Structure 1
């Protein structure tokens, strides 16, 4: 069930590209998208938590806020900015591959912090996942221009992405459920992002364009659902395995690109999809044994 929950999260995150293209045509910037998604996600999660279990609105100890500073600011806010910056300095393919170095960082952090063992299976799965991501994004199928600054920021995005699994694991070990972790993650992230936009301008634009249904769907499907399911999955899987399993996201993005946006289908892209899906199967079978 933990694998299924993480896969659901990966599938939902794979929808981000579809929503981003739709919202981009309306003239919104990436940081404005993040602000809208953060506000709506925080509101939805608060209402869900309030009506389902009010006790999860409270922190057991105010010192625990550090875990959510980690998931919300150090992870979500930071990696979202770094990823967008990397896209501008390199291109989408290179930035995506660099972002999906996250499982490698999660595995390294987990070995150092959680004393997880590095095994032959984990090494093979990491290699399959990384090579699969390279194939899926088409990195090897065209001439690319990028800077070392772009590479560095792209790797920083991977580190930021990895930190959610690490801080999320600490929060789970401190006794917090997926609702509490997700709520405080987006509350703190939204507070930070609010200072980077003009909230009144963004709200006015969405209202005048009549795009609240799109904005709500964006927040629900790419934030609320995946973060709840991924965090819940973390409670049943080591952080390293959850992170690798979630790399089904670029596969979903690639399939949607082919089906919805009629992007080219190549043998490398298909091979990459098979590699990433196979890595999840290998990890799952190793867990069963």
Structure 2
């Protein structure tokens, strides 16, 4: 079986992905019910995460607020990459629709595997390559992106979606780099989101900055609508975003980048399951097939880790 640290990493990455999978439900509600502009949503999402995490750490783990000077430039880059990832994701959804945007962002394991193998000395063997292929094909079936109509005449959207996959791979690799620098994952999450919010602030417009407060202009009756909108946004920030990204960063201290990234490809499978359970959406045969392929890909990773442990002669957990 896998080493204890790897087993813990698998569990943490899986829990992170489960939490992440509810993100689309919250974002979909905000963009359809309140017509919230994507970049405004991305900014407030990051800012609320940073504020809540700062408050929690200040109360229960004050030493984690400290970031050494030697890490500052690294985290400026880390925060910038996070801001670009969130911006590209929201624009990709707007241009491509959620299905195609999802499969494009989950092209990231390809880039993660290649960069991790080339520059981080991570193994890239036949099982891992097979897991990458199965996960990507599975995401295509789950999202419905195999339908040519979903890709119709939208080159700009496809380029932005693929760019988002590259940027998310970069985010994952920077998370691994942060771990290798000895930075606590919650400290890394705090400063990446703080700086990410700072970069997103630069592209905000005054007339849309307080978008969810606009119902207040119609009179006292607008308080309920504004409170609902801000409440959903806060839930999105402290639940799927803080929980998902925070635990994903923690998992990178236990797992190779490509392994954590591949486990994250379970997200569209879980999102589809949530939509079936909560929204009554029907699961199609291709979606069930795609979900099975992604799960098989993750199982291949377990065999890959086990084979690596045996080959290296590392201690096995019972």
The answer to whether the 8 Å contact 1:70/1:164 transfers is: no
The answer to whether the 8 Å contact 1:67/1:170 transfers is: no
* Paired residues, number: 287
Give the gaps of 5 or more residues in structure 1: none
Judged with a 3 Å threshold, the aligned counterparts in structure 2 of structure 1 residues 9 and 70 are, in CA distance, closer, same or farther, namely: farther
2:71 to 60, 64, 68: 64
Query: C-alpha distance in 2, partners of 1:194/1:263?
Result: 36
Residue 210 (structure 1) aligns with: 227
Residue 261 (structure 1) aligns with: 279
Query: C-alpha distance in 2, partners of 1:91/1:33?
Result: 17
Residues 1:154 and 2:171 aligned together: no
The answer to whether the 8 Å contact 2:17/2:266 transfers is: yes
Question: 1:138: how far off?
Answer: 0.8
Query: After superposition, where does 1:71-150 map in structure 2 within 5 Å?
Result: 71-74=78-81, 76-141=82-147, 143-144=149-150, 145-150=152-157
The answer to whether the 8 Å contact 2:23/2:241 transfers is: no
List per-residue Cα deviations over 1:65-100 (Å, max 9, x = no partner).
2332233211x2112222232333333322211110
The answer to whether the 8 Å contact 1:67/1:168 transfers is: no
1:21 to 25, 28, 37: 28
Query: C-alpha distance in 1, partners of 2:215/2:260?
Result: 35
Residue 249 (structure 2) aligns with: 231
Question: 1:260: how far off?
Answer: 2.7
Greater shift in the superposed pair: 171-180 or 213-222: 213-222
- Structure 1 runs of 4+ aligned residues shifted over 4 Å read none
The answer to whether the 8 Å contact 1:89/1:146 transfers is: no
Higher Rg of the two aligned structures:
2
Query: C-alpha distance in 1, partners of 2:75/2:294?
Result: 30
Give the TM-score normalised by the residue count of structure 1: 0.92
Judged with a 3 Å threshold, the aligned counterparts in structure 2 of structure 1 residues 147 and 268 are, in CA distance, closer, same or farther, namely: same
Query: C-alpha distance in 2, partners of 1:89/1:18?
Result: 18
Residues 1:271 and 2:289 aligned together: yes
Give the TM-score normalised by the residue count of structure 2: 0.84
Query: C-alpha distance in 1, partners of 2:147/2:276?
Result: 16
List per-residue Cα deviations over 1:212-270 (Å, max 9, x = no partner).
43222110112111122111111000111111011111111111222333333211100
1:173 to 162, 180, 204: 180
Judged with a 3 Å threshold, the aligned counterparts in structure 2 of structure 1 residues 102 and 14 are, in CA distance, closer, same or farther, namely: same
1:201 to 192, 210, 221: 210
1:187 to 194, 199, 215: 194
Judged with a 3 Å threshold, the aligned counterparts in structure 2 of structure 1 residues 83 and 48 are, in CA distance, closer, same or farther, namely: same
Give the gaps of 5 or more residues in structure 2: 1-7, 217-222, 308-318
Judged with a 3 Å threshold, the aligned counterparts in structure 2 of structure 1 residues 79 and 146 are, in CA distance, closer, same or farther, namely: farther
